[in-house]
Structure 1
Amino acid sequence: MSFLSRCNATLFLSLENDNKKQNKDVFVKCGLGVLCSFFLVFLVGVPSVYGSKSEQSVWSVGLKSRIDYLIKRSGISRSHLSIWVSTESFADQLQVYDLNSQSKRVPASLTKVITGAAALRLYPENHKFVTRLMSPHPIKNGVLKGDLYLVGGGNPSFVSENMWDLVNELRRTGVKKIEGQVIVDDSLFDSVRFDPSRTQQRVNRAYDAPVGAMSFNWNSVNVYIRPGSSKGKPASVYIDPENEYYELVNNVTTSGGASASVQLKRVPVGKNKERITVSGKIGLSSDEKVKYMSVLRPDYWSGFNLISFLKQRGIEVQEKVKLGKVPGKSRVLSDHESKPLSEVVKDMMKFSNNYVAEMLTKNLSLMGASKERGTMEGGMHRLQKFLTERGWKASDFALVNPSGLTRDNRFSAFAMASLLDDLRDEFKIYPEFLTSFPVSGVDGTLKKRLVGESTKGWMRAKTGMLTGVIGLAGFVKSKKRPLFTYVFIFNGKGSQTIRARELSDEIAYSLINES
């Protein structure tokens, strides 16, 4: 209720409780009316914490000049940039800076802002994904009399400690031996591991991991390398987690000094295993090095890891993994619920995890579907609908991949800024949405950017990067001005990629320190 409304309500009650004293009532009515008018005029005349519109106009002109100067100094063509900056102005958004903001650009991982927002908006609060161990067979005297099914529930965050929970719960049922085989049910999603919407050049890096309804440790493996006991000796190489999915070939030798140059190469072995060859040199004085590599078959990778965990827990099991669908009359022997959806979105946003983005999107395709398998096409349709329902015109954007690992996505800086501002009014999801962003100088992909005391913690923004593409989108808080919405997209020469990232930070620095 507004201040003036509260005054009028008080006046009404006063008149109702003493309607016999008409002259006094008239006096009260007039007196309170004048009083309310006085306070209304007083409040309107009080300077806003944001400053008057004329004051905002003055400092925004100065800020615009500084941004223009930074762009000129960078040597980057203005035609290669799309920038939008706005801030609160009473009940409206005040445009502070606009450079080609309506131009559609390749956004890279800024796309994940859409994916994360849609997941938070479309799923129920605290939604969780469930992974299960099931079997149609009985347990007698500690022996499971048949196959054990590992049933994937599309959990993007199922990692080693979760596998331990699953296996420990199974052990508490009294199971000590499995007579059958481990069978992985990966049928919740389709069988497409690498969607064609991704860039077509496959690499063995963890950021290019495949997806599957049954996935484990972000479908990547850690390879650790330590120097040997003396120069010329073989280095020590370890895979974590260790299991029978990988064959390891160690061709790394120990050299002098402290530098390291190590390469990983993988090849499929049959249809269900891989061989990793680790080559190169590591200095005798070098610290331990770690390399991250994606796997090719999430289903078999998950199954062999389950076997390893079962054996470590003292449960006897065959070293074989098959694929198949769990029989309809099977019962649940143990299950594991994922962390809440908001935490999964945070994993994706903070570290720009492409795998999580695609896993969430295939899950979105299942909403409201009774028999369909999760598909990228179905999930992308939901993301596109999420945008059009918020006023985006279909002709104003192209969205083919939810992670941004493509050059076929297109949208404008202004459209992204509009989405960010729109979500600030969504009370049920905005707190979780905001906390999912990397924080300048603190965590995620912004941990090593804007680390100074004057800038640390004052920006929450999603980053994006491909060769010739830089993106930054989110919120910046000036210490003396209201909250800025800031979107920066560079599409230009590959040789200017790093300079463009520096420019995006320089503009953010100016916003934070705006006085």
Structure 2
Amino acid sequence: MLGAVPLAAGGVLAPSGAAYAGSAGSVLAGSRLAARIQAIIERPGFAGARWGMAFSAADTGDIVYALRPDELFVAASSFKVFVAGTAFEALGPNHRFRTRVYRTGPVVRGVLRGDLVLVAGGDLLLSGRRRPDSTLYLPEPDPTYPGGVPLPDPLREIRDLAGQVAAAGVRRVEGQILVDTSLFREAREGVFMGNTQITVSPMMVNDHVVHAVVTPGGAAGAPGVVRAVPQTGYLRFVSQVTTVPASGPARPLAFGDDVEDLDGSRSVTVTGDIPLGAQPRFVAYFVPSPTRFGGTVLAEALHALGVTVGGGIEAAPTGWRGARLAEHVSPPLAEEVKAMLKVSSNIHTVTFPYLVGAVAGRDSVTPKATYEQYLRQLFRAAGLDPDLARVAEGSYTANTFIRFLTHIKRRPYFAQYRQALPIMGRDGSIAGNQPNSPAAGHVYAKTGTGGLATPTGGAMLHKALAGYIELPDRRWLTFAQFMRQETTFEAVRGLGDQAQEAMAEIATAVYETLTRSPR
């Protein structure tokens, strides 16, 4: 019951467990809304599903509708609203990250008598995501997810840094390229995709990804063709992919042997099958050393401009000194979080706690622990038990979410925060949900999807949607919806899509009911 939003005085608790607050709408309107919601969640496709949800008036705290609001559900990626809120609170919506290049010696007639130092500042968008009009390229699915395609120009910012170095008159570097990642200590983290582990680092180029682009050979039995995007000397893919008949079975594409060569580069084997005549397939490889990857692509960008580097790529030693040659300034934090929220990047999600702890807390050694203190403070400010910030197995109640989101609604950065969320019928992970409904463009919410094997050999699907609804008269609602249902592994994706559309329909029902009801 911790963190529950109390019912408004005069509210009615229906036998079904749905609660209505008189100040948010009439009891009659509440009954109509309850009937619409029941009709959605009782569809045959959701037989056996367990639902929980709460809708609350942000200004008054009145409950508009609630069903099992204090029952724990798996939040999945909807918990990213907590990560983003903590980043906004600790860093501010206008914070910018700076990636810089320094020289450790003088430049004499075009020759740098020293090293170049690439200093990582924690920018998560060194990936060519920014369009000329300053909007972000946020494809769905994200390039880091299975099926995601490479970004169109992932080394754009690295080329810009190289161009600034060349413009400063450097034609040859006698020393090495050193990469300074001292902002925080690198660590390994899981990213919720088949137990994939990545190296969390303040040096993030192209989301730590090199894509293996696999195309079929000219005949069944021929080797598949594998190339790297972006192409870089850091990584070489070795194809053990076989072209198979278009109508036959095919082994999934995967990475096999991964060997580090003497110069720090890597040779990675790609295995599996690709059907004859198939379109290119994309498999994301997460680089184990963001430091070497970042240094290598900078060296290659310099080489393309005619700047030679005599030495190799190394981590920068402590205590180095130098003069600045180049700088790339990130978009503001309010833009940086969009990859995490709108297209649900898990890579960004596991990195933001380190950035908050390192930048706001000035903790380079235990930044994640410092981030957790900021998160606990934010929960406490929202009137929540701070221990709820670390609920076991990612389970939360709907009331915890609406209490947190109501607090964020009162913060000065709310307008930027909610614009960073997916917008129903317009963009992000809910762009395709209810695009023609009156509520389209007025529901700002983070999705969540999870699946776990059950003892019976099936799968337990978990779905979530949490955020805000803007009514025509500028009233705001906070809400959270959850669902879990046992199904088969084959049916998880389709059922998840149905559940997400149903949650969008419920948000539309709330929007329409309160738009028509008297204040």
TM-score bucket (shorter structure):
0.7 to 0.9
1:150 deviates by 1.4
1:83 deviates by 0.9
C-alpha distance in 1 between matches for 2:235 and 2:415: 42
1:81 deviates by 2.9
CA contact 1:241–1:305 (8 Å) conserved in 2: no
Q: Does 1:246 align with 2:235?
A: yes
Query: Against the structure 1 CA distance between its residues 166 and 492, is the aligned structure 2 distance closer, same or farther, given a 3 Å change threshold?
Result: same
Secondary structure, in 3 states, of the residue corresponding to 2:32? Answer: helix
CA contact 1:209–1:218 (8 Å) conserved in 2: no
- In structure 1, the partner of 2:35 is 65
The farther-off stretch of 57-66 and 244-253 is 244-253
C-alpha distance in 1 between matches for 2:103 and 2:485: 55
1:269 deviates by 2.2
Query: Against the structure 1 CA distance between its residues 319 and 244, is the aligned structure 2 distance closer, same or farther, given a 3 Å change threshold?
Result: farther
Q: Which has the larger radius of gyration?
A: 1
C-alpha distance in 2 between matches for 1:261 and 1:314: 44
Secondary structure, in 3 states, of the residue corresponding to 2:340? Answer: helix
AA aligned to 2:227 is Y
1:146 deviates by 2.2
Query: Against the structure 1 CA distance between its residues 465 and 184, is the aligned structure 2 distance closer, same or farther, given a 3 Å change threshold?
Result: same
TM-score with structure 2 setting the length: 0.77
Q: Number of paired residues?
A: 448
1:266-415 superposed matches below 5 A: 266-270=256-260, 272-318=264-310, 320-325=312-317, 327-367=319-359, 369=361, 372-373=364-365, 375-395=367-387, 397-399=388-390, 408-415=393-400
AA aligned to 1:457 is G
1:329 deviates by 2.6
- In structure 2, the partner of 1:123 is 91
AA aligned to 1:144 is L
CA contact 2:361–2:371 (8 Å) conserved in 1: no
Write the deviation string for residues 419-460 of structure 1: whole angstroms up to 9, x where unpaired.
22222222x311111111112233222233334566643432
Secondary structure, in 3 states, of the residue corresponding to 1:382? Answer: helix
- In structure 1, the partner of 2:253 is 263
AA aligned to 1:221 is V
1:229 deviates by 4.6
Secondary structure, in 3 states, of the residue corresponding to 2:42? Answer: helix
Query: Against the structure 1 CA distance between its residues 504 and 368, is the aligned structure 2 distance closer, same or farther, given a 3 Å change threshold?
Result: closer
1:208-219 superposed matches below 5 A: 209-219=198-208
CA RMSD of aligned residues (A): 3.1
Secondary structure, in 3 states, of the residue corresponding to 2:423? Answer: coil
1:85 to 34, 51, 55: 55
> Which ranges in structure 1 are unaligned for 5 or more consecutive residues?
1-50, 401-406
CA contact 2:424–2:431 (8 Å) conserved in 1: yes
1:439 to 423, 426, 434: 423
Q: Which has a greater percent of helix?
A: 1
1:91-130 superposed matches below 5 A: 92-130=60-98
C-alpha distance in 2 between matches for 1:239 and 1:279: 14
Q: Does 1:172 align with 2:157?
A: no
Query: Against the structure 1 CA distance between its residues 121 and 258, is the aligned structure 2 distance closer, same or farther, given a 3 Å change threshold?
Result: farther
1:155 to 114, 123, 135: 123
1:227 to 216, 225, 249: 216
C-alpha distance in 1 between matches for 2:363 and 2:337: 26
- In structure 1, the partner of 2:505 is 509
C-alpha distance in 1 between matches for 2:501 and 2:297: 42
Query: Against the structure 1 CA distance between its residues 119 and 188, is the aligned structure 2 distance closer, same or farther, given a 3 Å change threshold?
Result: same
C-alpha distance in 2 between matches for 1:258 and 1:343: 44
Query: Against the structure 1 CA distance between its residues 264 and 231, is the aligned structure 2 distance closer, same or farther, given a 3 Å change threshold?
Result: same
AA aligned to 2:342 is K
Secondary structure, in 3 states, of the residue corresponding to 1:493? Answer: strand
> Which ranges in structure 2 are unaligned for 5 or more consecutive residues?
1-20, 128-154, 452-460, 514-519
- In structure 2, the partner of 1:488 is 481
Write the deviation string for residues 334-363 of structure 1: whole angstroms up to 9, x where unpaired.
121111111001121111112212322112
AA aligned to 2:378 is F
C-alpha distance in 2 between matches for 1:369 and 1:485: 30
- In structure 1, the partner of 2:10 is none
1:509 deviates by 1.2
- In structure 2, the partner of 1:56 is 26
C-alpha distance in 2 between matches for 1:282 and 1:452: 38
